Amino acid sequence: MAPGVWMPDQGEGTYANPILAGDYSDPDIVRVGEDYYLTASSFANVPGLPVLHSRDLVNWTLVGHALTRLPQAHHDVPRRGGGVWAPAIRHHGGLFRIFWGDPDFGIYTVTAADPAGPWSEPILVDNPGGAIDPAPFWDDDGQGWLVYSYAKSRSGKINLVALKRLDDSGTRAVGEERIIVDGDTLAQVETSDGPKTWVVIEGGKLYKRDGWYWLFAPSGGVKGGWQGVFRARDITGPYEARNVLDQGDTPVNGPHQGGWVETPQGEHWFVHFSDADAYGRRVHLQPMTWNADGWPLVGTPQPGTHRGQPVLAHAKPALPPQAMSAPVVDDSFDDGFHLGWQWQSNPAADWHDASATGVLRLKSASSPVNLWEAGHVLSQKLPGMTFSATTTLDFAPVALGERAGLTLFGAAYGWIGLEHAADGVRLVQVTREDAAGQGDARSVTAGVAIHGPVHLRVDVTPVEVAVAPPADPTRYWPSMERAYHARAQFHYSLDGHAWTALGEPVHVLPGRWVGAQLGLFAQSPAGTPAFTATRVGYADFDDFRVR
């Protein structure tokens, strides 16, 4: 692996969290035999629904995506924060099944015999209006059930977990909706930061053990939350509630929303995310044990309580050894581009010229100059907290105003690259501090005329910043008073050896529900005539490397 990529396996029988340093939000997990599969939210990025594989729960590889494109033309342009929310992956009836909620269009499912694909076309399971976070469950009698929650922004409802039956195919929700958990009716819960109100209960997953139905459902919000567990003797309730994991005295904020898995050896483990702002929602692995009263405890015990707190490092699961691995980052582009790359919306057929060999050829797609509005930025998740990313750009523009480059991208972003101006092709570094709010950009030009390939680099380091304190201490945690930006310093080189910084460092912010992303793009001004070989040019990228 590239030395800039975070590796959780410490090589001596232990692991360090996170097990996935990239932005794999809302993870869910399933075991089939001796193999483990994980999926996560992908929101507006395409392809969506990443599928990762492991045999030891620590070393993961990306094996494919279950969604080649979002099923609505609505997503043919960037819909920041829309798309795939909080999926669940299960194996039932000989098929892998992934369910997800698009808050604007409903609950969907796809199926596959092989988790690497091909996957079926999306099937609409239900559309109760604003539903999110669906997860299926099949009971001992074969009856299928679906739990889900609601996005207040679309439905006006929140803090609920709903239940419906599934039909025999497992692809349609049928019958009457039942609310099995209403957070507004629950007494306050004890946490390591004092009593809290149950708020934003969502992301529910149903399991069964020892005659109890177990609903794992986080509460408290992304950064200030905890992992709630609810149990009942009947699937419809009534459910008892408990906090089984919170931040405790660790730096791991909002440890919640994930999935429980049991190994063949009888160990229990829980994956969840923790929000690192510009670095995304990173995945952690926690040991899970059972208290004497029959309730689970996730993480390491907090003395004198029935709840756990996250482990920062721990002995690896008692599973057969696996080679150290992490999702691939580097790309030579010798055979297309690797699975880790995603577009910002459903791609158009001519954004990428697959006929070019040995390079990534991006056509100069027509779009607004603000990349926040551009679906054709090809991006991947950040591989760690501190790293440098380099690539080589060979630009062949036709129209004035065409530009191409390397970006660290989010709601505030920067990029370095080349722009075709009236006096030729020039090196430029652009910063847009409020891209999501359509703020103005500022640019710095190197004044160097470029007549061939140029090498581009971004150095990335975390910067901790203070944010406004929460207004209601009964609902939020002190950890919400600070955030991470990704500080990006851009450089160029004409020979690949001597590097020159261009522009001031840029504080890059996360996107909408996603972390910042490394991206490559080629762009022509909005309104440029449709792509043809004579009207717009292209950019060739080669040797994308992280160190």
**Active-site residue 434, yes or no?**
no
Dihedral angle over CA of 380, 383, 389, 394, nearest 10:
-20
**Active-site residue 202, yes or no?**
yes
Cα(44)–Cα(83) distance, rounded to whole angstroms? 5
Neighbours of 70 (CB within 10 A): 26
What are the φ/ψ torsions at residue 337 (nearest 5 degrees)?
-130, 150
AA identity, residue 179:
I
Cα(210)–Cα(228) distance, rounded to whole angstroms? 19
Max CA-CA distance within the chain?
A: 76
E-strand ranges in 139-280 read 144-150, 160-166, 173-182, 189-191, 194-196, 205-209, 212-219, 226-232, 240-245, 256-262, 268-275
Of 447, 393, 391, nearest in space to 424 by CA: 447
Verify cis geometry, omega within 30 degrees of 0, for the bond prior to 368.
no
Neighbours of 169 (CB within 10 A): 11
Helix (H, G, I), strand (E, B) or coil at 442: strand
Contact 278, 508 (CB under 8 A): yes
Contact 506, 488 (CB under 8 A): yes
Counting Cβ atoms within 10 Å, is residue 291 exposed (0-12), middle (13-18) or buried (19+)? Answer: middle
Q: Which of 26, 133, 277, 540 is the catalytic position?
A: 26
Of 1, 16, 6, 15, nearest in space to 386 by CA: 6
Cα(533)–Cα(539) distance, rounded to whole angstroms? 13
Q: Which of 28, 104, 126, 202 is the catalytic position?
A: 202
Cα(355)–Cα(362) distance, rounded to whole angstroms? 11
Cα(308)–Cα(83) distance, rounded to whole angstroms? 33
Cα(53)–Cα(55) distance, rounded to whole angstroms? 7
CA distances from 307 to 12, 13, 131 (A): 29, 26, 30
| Ramachandran assignment for 211, one of left (phi > 0), alpha (psi -120 to 50 degrees), beta (any other) | left
Residues whose CB falls within 8 Å of the CB of residue 34, separated by 6 or more in sequence, listed in order: 55, 264, 319, 320
Of 112, 109, 128, 38, nearest in space to 71 by CA: 109
Contact 127, 108 (CB under 8 A): no
Counting Cβ atoms within 10 Å, is residue 484 exposed (0-12), middle (13-18) or buried (19+)? Answer: buried
Question: What residues are annotated to the active site?
Answer: 26, 202
